[in-house]
Amino acid sequence: MGRPDGHKLDVLFEPVALGELRLPNRIVMAPMTRHRAATGSLAPHRLNAEYYSQRATAGLIVSEASQISQQGQGYIGTPGIYSEAQIEGWRLVTDAVHAAGGRIVCQLWHVGRMSHVSLQPGGHAPVAPSAIRANAQIYLDSGFADTSVPRALVLAEIPLIVASYKQAAANARRAGFDGVELHGANGYLLDQFMRDGSNRRTDEYGGSVSNRIRFTLEVVEAAVGVWGNGRVGIRIAPTSVEGDMHDSDPQSLFGTLLGSLSSRGLAYVHVVEGTGEVGRDGSGFDFTGMRTLFSGSLIRNNGYSPDLAAAAVGAGGCDAVSFGRPFIANPDLVRRFREGAELNSTDKATVYGGDARGYTDYLPIV
């Protein structure tokens, strides 16, 4: 079945290089937490490998966020990338994706204050730049729960967390990924350090914009040190309010960050637009201007249709667009876009947690 609108979307099916990553098309699968890691070990397993390999025709898959340490966990059932069992589990995933002709990077995650004492080592408080609780909820065995009050990291602990990121980047390499994406978006630890609503530190990691982006730049340097140039990306969400986040001047903060990231050998910057979970932005933040602030490749996200994505890529506003929710029920999303086929709808009850139902049983078109 041909698309009635002719070649309008063709630009999405052109190959592109994001650093050293070679994508056959511009349709990226956005990272999506699905809460289906093995109970106890929090290791990925065969079902996860099947799920990702079904989606291997994406230009690039960004894995669900994967905590770099137990301290970095904020929800039940999310996979880690810090133990041998988790590395072996991820190896199943990367082998399956590669066997199906795809590419996959691991999204490295530390939730910071978006956690709960019951998930933390020794039942201690979650850590954060400052002891400010997020007015937000996380997900536990017992259902949704308020986040716990965090404690502020002492200065001497910060290099240890950078070292955990570095170890996780090395683990991702051993697990056979094609690169890593640092989760700097949506109110987690990197974001908490960057925005002044959550960072009230008075040392060299707080106060001025250059101090607040220091931790992120150190993590970038550590990851690029492991992977070399062109295989590390970073995700940011300059105006997202998820996780009770805000900043007094996002334009200046993220403008400075993007300028500083330009010379660091990144594969790409992945930007989530908008103030919330869905839709176009109403914040006044200049997302289009990001193109001139960052000299490398750009992936844009949040609520894009294929038409909007093609327009953004066609106008030179980005190199690729990522799609999240449409990939849940449409493993062959790239083909469906190409052929103008209808999309399957998502069963909301099976998005988070569970088994194969609503995970690997959505069928491709034949």
Ligand X SMILES: Cc1cc2nc3c(=O)[nH]c(=O)nc-3n(C[C@H](O)[C@H](O)[C@H](O)COP(=O)(O)O)c2cc1C
Which residues sit at the interface with ligand X, rule CB under 6 A? 30-33, 64-65, 107, 183, 185-186, 235, 272, 301-304, 323-325, 351
Residue 154 CA, chain-centre distance (Å), reads 27
Return the number of the residue (155 or 343) whose C-beta is nearest ligand X.
343
- C-alpha to C-alpha distance for 317 and 215, rounded to whole angstroms: 28
Cα–Cα distance between 104 and 333 in angstroms, integer? 16
Q: How far is the CB of 78 from ligand X (least distance, A)?
A: 8
Taking the complex as a whole, the smallest distance from the CB of residue 35 to ligand X amounts, in Å, to: 9
Residue 175 or 321 having the CB closest to ligand X: 321
CA distance 109 to 112: 9
The amino acid occupying position 56 is: A
| CB of 33 or CB of 206, closer to ligand X | 33
| Residue number, 246 or 325, with CB nearest to ligand X | 325
Query: Which residue's Cβ has the minimum distance to ligand X?
Result: 324
| Residues forming a β-bridge with 323 | 29
Catalytic residue among 52, 82, 139, 188: 188
Give least dist CB 173 to ligand X, A.
20
Instruction: Name the residue nearer to ligand X (CB basis): 125 or 241.
Output: 241
Which of helix, strand or coil describes residue 344?
Answer: coil
- Our answer to whether residue 52 is catalytic in this structure is no
Ordered DSSP codes for 36-78: -SPTTT----HHHHHHHHHTTTSSEEEEEEEESSGGG--STT-
**Distance of closest approach, residue 34 Cβ to ligand X, in angstroms:** 7
HSE value, Cβ hemisphere, 13 Å, CA-based, for 117: 9
Pairing of the two strands 298-301 and 320-323:
parallel
CB of 339 to ligand X, least distance (A): 19
CA–centroid distance for 116 within its chain: 21
CB 129 within 8 A of CB 199: yes
Catalytic residue numbers? 188
